[in-house]
């Protein structure tokens, strides 16, 4: 039996003055209460009660121990009371890792609303193009797209987005609009500077899947730099629709070769460590995010 059970038995006996009444209050037998207190006295190497025929009297040492025992019991009760609110209280710091473009275009627009809804919460958003498992360093949530590495983490699909080849009207007016995938080789193109399926420009021509070996004029680690080049009329890029969908909708960019485009829909996942006993701050963030993404025109989920 643990030390805390011994302490509770002692408190019950001190309050009720005999083993029988303490046993009823604790839901134990008088024998069990007696054994717990005996073990406590053996552990402390001191007698806590003078045992009479029908009653117990605290010794001087027992009276001194009672003060500390009550303090421990009160502290445990306070801790339990605080813990009871954990399943519903959204507070603390939520640590999120996601793609820079997703943070900028899909989280930042509604983040002030989310923080206003949960004033006890702070958010630490870290960004990077590729998923890195940092949960052992305190990360709560990761949001990434595409094929994830095998792991024991929970990956919840929260949406999906196409990849779109696009350029600005200014560039197309100056250099012409490609009507066949092979014509991309004659144009100025930009892509990511790391090995990724995001750099595969795939199409379906006459029922056959092909890949155009685009040679980029420049490469970048961040999709927003590619978007900036495209918006500035420098060339053609291939980016996620969650990133450039609004630009296309409002005419700043034009989607190219849509009829020949290979199906390039890519899932977007929220990744966390455990499905059971999910933290209230993670649950609140997940639900808020899914609500916002549900109304996004690019989300084909």
| 9-26 confidence digits (pLDDT tens) | 888 888 888 888 888 878
Helices (H), 178-237: 223-231
Q: Which of 110, 146, 113, 107 is nearest to 127 (CA)?
A: 107
- Reference 10, options 45, 47, 75, 81; nearest CA is 47
Residue ending a domain, among 52, 84, 116, is 84
Per-residue pLDDT of 187-218, as tens digits, reads 999 999 887 778 889 898 877 888 899 999 99
One domain for residues 249 and 286: no
Is 157 within 8 Å of 111 (Cβ atoms)?
no
Domain containing residue 75: 3-84
Q: Is residue 153 part of a domain?
A: yes
Instruction: Please report whether residue 64 resides in a domain.
Output: yes
Residue 150: predicted pLDDT: 64
Report the C-alpha gap between 206 and 269 in whole angstroms: 33
Distance CA 191, CA 274 (A): 35
Q: Could you tell me whether strands 218-220 and 190-192 are parallel, antiparallel, or unpaired per DSSP bridges? A: parallel
**So what's the pLDDT on residue 205?**
82
My answer on whether 231 and 208 are in the same domain is: yes
CA angle 135, 95, 129 (to 5 degrees): 75
Q: Domain check: are 246 and 178 in the same one?
A: yes
> In this structure, how many other beta carbons lie within 10 angstroms of the beta carbon of residue 248?
16
Domain-located, residue 112: yes
Domain membership of residue 108 (yes or no) is yes
Residue 300 forms part of a structural domain: no
Radius of gyration of the chain (CA): 32
What is the three-class DSSP state of 27?
coil
Percent of the chain exceeding pLDDT 90 equals 40
CATH (domain of 123): 3.40.190.10
- Side-chain-side CA neighbours of 43 within 13 Å: the count stands at 12
**Average pLDDT for 90-114:** 91
Let me know whether 280 and 218 are in one domain. Answer: no
Considering the domain architecture, whether residues 173 and 242 belong to the same structural domain is answered as yes
Query: 84, 112, 133 — which closes off a domain?
Result: 84
CA distance 114 to 112: 5
Number of domains, the chain:
3
Which two tokens mark 263? 């199906």
If you average pLDDT over residues 45-68, what whole number do you get?
87
Residues 236 and 98 in one domain: no
Co-location of 238 and 280 in the same domain: no
Nearest CA to 285 out of 188, 156, 136 is that of: 156
Contact 286, 270 (CB under 8 A): yes
The two tokens of residue 53 are 């025929």
Is the pTM value of this prediction over 0.75? no
Going by the DSSP 8-state scheme, the letter that residue 201 receives in this structure is -
Report pLDDT for 87.
45
| Whole-number average pLDDT of the chain | 86
Q: Above pLDDT 70, what percent of the chain?
A: 93
Q: Measured between alpha carbons, how far is residue 30 from residues 47, 65, 140, 209 in Å?
A: 18, 21, 48, 80
The answer to whether residues 184 and 108 belong to one domain is no
Instruction: Please check the confidence at residue 275 and state whether its pLDDT lies above 70.
Output: no
Let me know whether 27 and 174 are in one domain.
no
Tokens of 286: 């997940």
Judge if 167 and 250 occupy the same domain: yes
- The answer on pLDDT for 88 being more than 60 is no
* Domain end marker among 84, 114, 149: 84
114 and 170 in a single domain? The answer is no
Q: What is the pLDDT of residue 85?
A: 47
Taking residue 68's Cβ as centre, other Cβ atoms within 10 Å add up to: 10
The whole-angstrom separation of Cα 135 and Cα 127 is 14
Residues 70, 139, single domain; the answer is no
| pLDDT of amino acid 178 | 95
**According to the model, what pLDDT value does residue 86 have?**
44
State the alpha helices, DSSP H only, in 126-235.
Answer: 169-175, 223-231
């Amino acid at each position: 039996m643990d030390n805390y059970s011994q302490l509770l038995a002692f408190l019950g006996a001190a309050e009720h003055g005999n083993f029988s009444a303490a046993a009823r209050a604790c839901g134990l037998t008088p024998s069990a209460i007696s054994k717990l207190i005996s073990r406590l006295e053996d552990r402390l190497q001191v007698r806590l009660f003078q045992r009479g025929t029908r009653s117990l009297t605290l010794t001087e040492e027992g009276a001194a121990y009672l003060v500390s025992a009550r303090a421990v019991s009160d502290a445990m009760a306070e801790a339990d009371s605080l813990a009871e609110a954990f399943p519903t209280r959204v507070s603390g710091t939520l640590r999120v890792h996601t793609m820079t473009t997703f943070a900028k275009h899909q989280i930042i627009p509604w983040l002030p609303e989310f923080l206003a809804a949960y004033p006890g919460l702070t958010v630490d958003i870290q960004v990077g193009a590729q998923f890195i498992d940092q949960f052992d360093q305190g990360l709560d949530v990761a949001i990434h797209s595409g094929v994830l590495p095998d792991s024991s983490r929970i990956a919840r699909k929260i949406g999906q987005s196409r990849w779109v080849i696009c350029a600005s009207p200014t560039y197309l007016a100056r250099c012409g609009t490609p009507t066949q995938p092979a014509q991309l080789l004659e144009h100025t193109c930009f892509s990511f500077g790391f090995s990724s399926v995001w750099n595969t420009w795939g199409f379906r021509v006459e029922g056959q899947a092909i890949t155009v070996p685009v040679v980029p004029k420049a490469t970048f680690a961040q999709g927003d730099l590619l978007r900036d080049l495209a918006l500035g009329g420098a060339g053609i890029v291939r980016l996620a629709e969650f990133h450039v969908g609004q630009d296309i909708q409002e005419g700043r960019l034009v989607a190219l070769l849509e009829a020949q485009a290979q199906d390039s829909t890519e899932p977007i996942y929220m990744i966390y460590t455990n499905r059971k006993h999910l933290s209230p701050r993670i649950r609140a963030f997940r639900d808020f995010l899914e609500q916002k993404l549900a109304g996004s025109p690019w989300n084909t989920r």
